Amino acid sequence: MQLKKVLVFQFVLLVMALFLVSSGFSQEKKEGTLSFFGSIDSIPESRRFIVVNEQRVFLTSNAKIVDENNNLLKMDHLKRGLSVKVTGIRKAEGIYADRITVIRTPKRKP
């Protein structure tokens, strides 16, 4: 009987420890450098940000917009539906882009 109680107690401790560890892994970082591919969903008239894969991408004053050959483009070149690669920093209010690369041929997932 005592052995059964000890085993049950150890099992409960193990389960509690697993819940604590797994909840720590599920937390998302608020800030960090990232890079991702997607298509432009929308460009509001204010042009302070664009929406890529349902995420706000803010254009900083030093953000570069380029094509695949690294030619500089202007904000007017960005259109809804274009495939882009966004490189920037994730913050609580959205992604602040350092670089947006317009992709002529969309990347396909294998």
> What CATH number is attached to the domain comprising 75?
2.40.50.320
Domain annotation covers residue 16:
no
Domain annotation covers residue 109:
no
* Choice between 108 and 67, residue whose per-residue pLDDT is larger: 67
* Choice between 49 and 27, residue whose per-residue pLDDT is larger: 49
Domain annotation covers residue 13:
no
Q: Is the dihedral of CA 50, 56, 57, 58 positive or negative?
A: positive
For the stretch 41-79, pLDDT in tens is 999 888 889 999 989 999 888 899 999 999 999 988 999
Domain annotation covers residue 98:
yes
Count the domains in the chain: 1
Domain annotation covers residue 12:
no
Which three-class secondary structure string do you get for the chain? CHHHHHHHHHHHHHHHHHHHHHHHHCCCCCCEEEEEEEEEEECCCCCCEEEECCEEEEEEEEEEEEECCCCECCHHHCCCCCEEEEEEEEECCEEEEEEEEEECCCCCCC
Domain annotation covers residue 10:
no
Domain annotation covers residue 108:
no
Nearest to 101 by CA among 31, 32, 39, 33: 39
Q: What is the pTM of this model?
A: 0.64
Domain annotation covers residue 82:
yes
Amino acid 25: pLDDT:
45
Range of the domain at 91: 32-103
Q: Is the pLDDT of residue 29 over 80?
A: no
